[in-house]
Amino acid sequence: MTHFSDLVDGYYRFRGGEWLEERERWSELAEGQSPKVMIIACSDSRVDPATIFGSRPGEVFVVRNVAALVPPFDASGGLHGVSAALEFAVTKLGVEEILVLGHGACGGVHAALTGSLSGSKPGEGGFVAEWIGLLDEARERVVAEHGTGEDGQAALEQEGVRVSIANLKTFPFVQSALRDGKLTIHGAVFAIRDGKLRVLEDSDSFVPA
């Protein structure tokens, strides 16, 4: 088990090793960031994008949340963390690619699939239930075709990536970046069990990378 004290030990190793070795790079990064890729991933502790892709500091702009979801564009107010990060990445950083990264054994997707949290109060699962409501429509389609077992779980993990990509395309600044050829959107699912990455090819099928 790792606790904060273990993380501080890790920090000492980092400061004495990697940070020293790449000191020049860190002073460049102190001037600003210019990542070319944004990744929207799940908060799940097993799917850290930097670990999976071997990216270095400054290379990837990351947003993580329950089930790697993007809500649709909504200008009616409210606290929109994902939308804020997306707006910053696309309009200020000018990222050229966005990857929506789903994953196997996703608890958020499982709760959406089984409806296990539906009707819960905030603080008792209600926040998650509300958030994964973004998958409600997809869930209907998936359950009708694949049921609520393992096949349904895998199908909804993939469908969730498609939903988030469709929602990305409801943001006007994403639409114009796509129109101008300045932005490309990708989807993928990382399977924890076998370590395989499957990439969404033509908005239709996921194929091994």
> By C-beta, is 106 or 188 nearer to Zn ion?
106
> By C-beta, is 155 or 183 nearer to Zn ion?
155
> By C-beta, is 69 or 185 nearer to Zn ion?
69
Q: Torsion-angle region of residue 115: left (phi > 0), alpha (psi -120 to 50) or beta?
A: left
**Which residues lie closer than 8 Å to 58 by C-beta, 6 or more apart?**
25, 28, 29, 33, 34, 35
> Which of 82, 41, 75, 78 is closest to 168 using CA atoms?
82
> By C-beta, is 148 or 175 nearer to Zn ion?
148
Q: For the chain, what percentages of helix, strand and coil (3-state, to nearest 5) are there?
A: 50, 15, 35
Q: Shortest distance, CB of residue 43 to Zn ion, whole angstroms?
A: 7
Distance CA 85, CA 19 (A): 27
Tallying the residues shown for the chain, one arrives at: 209
**Residue 61 bridge partners (DSSP):** 38
Q: Shortest distance, CB of residue 65 to Zn ion, whole angstroms?
A: 9
Q: Shortest distance, CB of residue 86 to Zn ion, whole angstroms?
A: 19
Query: Contact positions toward Zn ion, by CB under 5 A?
Result: 42, 44, 106, 108
Q: Shortest distance, CB of residue 104 to Zn ion, whole angstroms?
A: 9
Q: Shortest distance, CB of residue 102 to Zn ion, whole angstroms?
A: 8
CB-CB contact of 188 with 201 (8 Å): no
Place of tokens 């699939």: 113
> By C-beta, is 44 or 159 nearer to Zn ion?
44
Q: Shortest distance, CB of residue 109 to Zn ion, whole angstroms?
A: 6
**Which residues lie closer than 8 Å to 130 by C-beta, 6 or more apart?**
122
Count of beta carbons in the 10 Å neighbourhood of residue 187: 24
> By C-beta, is 93 or 105 nearer to Zn ion?
105
